[in-house]
Structure 1
Amino acid sequence: MRAVRFLDGEFTVGEVPELPETGPGQVRIAVAACGICGSDLSVSKDACRFVEVAEAGGYPLAAFDTERPVVLGHEYAGVITELGAGVTDFAVGDRVAGIGLATDAATGIPTIIGYSNTYHGAFGEAIIVDACWVRAVPDDLRLDHATLAEPLHVGEMHVQQSGLTAADSALVIGCGTIGLGAVVAAKARGARMVIASEPSPRRRELATLMGADIVVDPTEQNLIEVWNALVADADAGSVVGAAANGILIAYECSGRAGILNELTHQMPFNSRIQVLAAGFTAETITPVVPQFRRIAVNFGHGPYQDAYDITLRRLAAGSIDAEAIITARVDLGGVADAFTTLRSPQDHVKIIVRPGLSAD
């Protein structure tokens, strides 16, 4: 099948080895569309570092042989072409999207498609995934729009894990697709105030469109200072207290080096930091500072429920403007240039790869 191979920092279009047989509990999908994820950008920047961190962290889902080619892409949508044994919830021809996980039949170890030398990602004509992670796409939702459920649901998942209530306020730092998902989720769950910070003018516009109450350009304003000014204007009292009237939760979606240390020094007492987009470089913080300030830092721990399904329903209902988030579409031949463009994302948010099947 045709796909975009990645090896040694280069993308090439051509024939790749066929996928494994569709195993029990799996489905084969003809890919209609796939979004380029921030993790894909991290691989393209330094695949060895990506795998090194995954292996050091005991995370086999994203470990592969960097000396062999991979086909990236896991934000997929498409049409089922084959069912593995035991799959009864779907039929051939169903329009689907979902989480891109496939369990290797030989080892029993799951892998994220695209971060595997065997289970190709969706920058190609077909994928195989475990059916338990697949969802039917509603009839009135375009398949290329459905690909957004995967990155946007990360925001919903982390907002749930953060324990945000209607008494709390949210700071969303970085308004790529995951950050926009956090804005949507915080607003949907009734946050008192949602303030977003983003240097890209286009992404700031989208944050407003997704419901942010205030949007800040961090090159001109300090996000915490904006919040402190709001508190002072509201005569809300001291930032040192029991937080009985709600707290401030920062959703770190930028992955910027040094941001975690800055937040631990600047966030109000009794606040929280929820890390959605973590970097791959080592960070230095002074642990006693968040301890002094009673700041909780969460990298993704805690319960959540139906985050992907909730997001897919929001897309189908039109409460998320999917077309505004998708800023370009490319075929397989345009993948290399798309990655180059996204490394300086002033004009883009989400670029969708379409291997050839209609995305309607």
Structure 2
Amino acid sequence: MRAVVCQNSELRVEEIPDPKPAKGHLVLDVVRAGICGSDLHARFHADPVADAAANIGFTNMMRLSQAVVMGHEFSGRVREFGPGTKRRIDEGAAVVALPIVRIDGRPEFLGLSKDAPGAYAERVLVDEALTFPVPNGLSPETAALTEPLAVAYHAVRKAKIGRNETAVVIGCGPIGLAVILMLRARGVRHIIASDYSAVRRGLAVRCGAHVVVDPAADSPWTSFADSKYFTDAGKLLHFALGSIEKLRTVPFLPWSKALRAAEATGKTPTGPVVFECVGVPGILDHILASAPLYTRVVVVGVCMERDAIVPITALTKEIALQFVFAYDPGEFYDTLQLLADGKVDPTPLVTSTVDLDGVPGAFDTLGKADEQAKILVAP
């Protein structure tokens, strides 16, 4: 079969052996595959990623010197059943699958391991237990976005953001746009999105952002100066002292218990929830320096390089820092249902489609241009 092979940062279309299903495997004909930002990073930074993965027990992640077929966002049709499969899904059925497959009893990240070729190919091997039928006649283009949208769904769930809180999305690439979609699905009523690209800002509006900001001309942080959030510690202290002073004038009401009751009902100062969706050095430090006090920062962007922050900045603002990664199988399935039920419309994300021969050029375009969001591959 034909596939796009990455080795030493070069992408080329080659003939490789067809996948052979072992126990519990399915072979799918790939209908659509999405080019992910993590694939763009892995093309040039696979070795440090593999080193980091090895520290937590994944010792077989792709290396630059290895020939790897990437692609972990996809939809397909069932072509072949391996031995011992339950065959709960019919041959030819439209499906999506989590990008994890057991090879010789060892779980591998599909598309990020030389032993688990991914979906930039005509066919792909998946684990039957992690494969789901596509419901409600969902298009293969939309179904292929289940995986990246599950990443966003997981990030928004981890944030525990309320409908009346403010969300700030820094970076409106595919993951930032997916986060906006999931925030709207959650019912968040104030979403600020920031990106240098006019095209991506337009896509952010289509995905549901209420305010979009060009950071070259304005700042996503200026609106907080006169908001319910505190950007000045002196004003916060003035507010706190004034509140205690008022509480202590109320007879028969212990002011300390009243303060704890206010905390329990959400009446004490809080901050917005910021989603970092850029993943380049310096962004995190900028957010810590610029965001209001008590901000919750959810790091979704994948930074492949060393970065530096000033911890005292985050400490004095009591900023909460949460790193998120991927999703669990339940979140993947829930995301598929949200798409199938029409509760999330990801069509603004897809800006073009290429065949296998167009993948190397698409990688180059996504790596240096800001007019694209999600490029799909149609093998």
2:4 is aligned to 4
Hey, what's the Cα distance between the residues in 2 that align with 1:113 and 1:41?
15
Hey, what's the Cα distance between the residues in 2 that align with 1:238 and 1:210?
35
TM-score (norm 2): 0.84
2:304 is aligned to 280
Instruction: Summarize the Cα distance change of 1:174–1:109 in structure 2 as closer, same or farther, 3 Å threshold.
Output: same
Instruction: Summarize the Cα distance change of 1:127–1:9 in structure 2 as closer, same or farther, 3 Å threshold.
Output: same
Whether 2:117 is the aligned partner of 1:94: answer no
Secondary structure at the aligned position of 1:22 is classed as coil
Whether 2:276 is the aligned partner of 1:252: answer yes
Q: Please give the per-residue CA displacement for 1:273-294, whole angstroms capped at 9, x wherever unaligned.
A: 0011130111111223212211
Hey, what's the Cα distance between the residues in 2 that align with 1:315 and 1:303?
16
* Contact persistence 2:33–2:378 (CA under 8 A): yes
In the comparison of the two structures, how many residue pairs are matched?
348
Hey, what's the Cα distance between the residues in 1 that align with 2:146 and 2:50?
25
Hey, what's the Cα distance between the residues in 2 that align with 1:51 and 1:302?
16
Choose the corresponding residue for 2:373, options 349, 354, 359.
349
2:36 is aligned to 37
Hey, what's the Cα distance between the residues in 2 that align with 1:110 and 1:214?
42
2:247 is aligned to none
What is the one-letter code of the residue matched to 2:148? P
Instruction: Summarize the Cα distance change of 1:36–1:83 in structure 2 as closer, same or farther, 3 Å threshold.
Output: same
Hey, what's the Cα distance between the residues in 1 that align with 2:78 and 2:235?
57
Q: Please give the per-residue CA displacement for 1:2-60, whole angstroms capped at 9, x wherever unaligned.
A: 111111221111211343x32333221111110000011002233333333333x4252
What are the within-5 Å matches in structure 2 for residues 119-268 of structure 1?
A: 119-231=116-228, 244=267, 247-268=271-292
* Contact persistence 1:61–1:110 (CA under 8 A): no
* Contact persistence 1:32–1:354 (CA under 8 A): yes
* Contact persistence 1:184–1:210 (CA under 8 A): yes
Hey, what's the Cα distance between the residues in 1 that align with 2:162 and 2:59?
32
Offset at residue 323 of structure 1 (A) = 3.3
Instruction: Summarize the Cα distance change of 1:302–1:137 in structure 2 as closer, same or farther, 3 Å threshold.
Output: closer
Hey, what's the Cα distance between the residues in 2 that align with 1:10 and 1:80?
30
Q: Which runs of 5+ in 2 are unaligned?
A: 241-262
Instruction: Summarize the Cα distance change of 1:121–1:304 in structure 2 as closer, same or farther, 3 Å threshold.
Output: closer
What is the one-letter code of the residue matched to 1:130? D
The share of aligned pairs that are identical, in percent, is 32
Whether 2:69 is the aligned partner of 1:71: answer yes
Hey, what's the Cα distance between the residues in 1 that align with 2:129 and 2:375?
27
Offset at residue 139 of structure 1 (A) = 4.0
Name whichever of 148-157 and 223-232 sits farther off: 223-232
What is the one-letter code of the residue matched to 1:328? S
Offset at residue 95 of structure 1 (A) = 0.5
Offset at residue 138 of structure 1 (A) = 2.0
1:60 is aligned to 58
1:13 is aligned to 13
Instruction: Summarize the Cα distance change of 1:230–1:304 in structure 2 as closer, same or farther, 3 Å threshold.
Output: farther
TM-score (norm 1): 0.89
Offset at residue 324 of structure 1 (A) = 2.5
Higher-Rg member (1/2): 2
* Contact persistence 2:164–2:190 (CA under 8 A): no
Secondary structure at the aligned position of 1:327 is classed as strand
Hey, what's the Cα distance between the residues in 1 that align with 2:326 and 2:134?
28
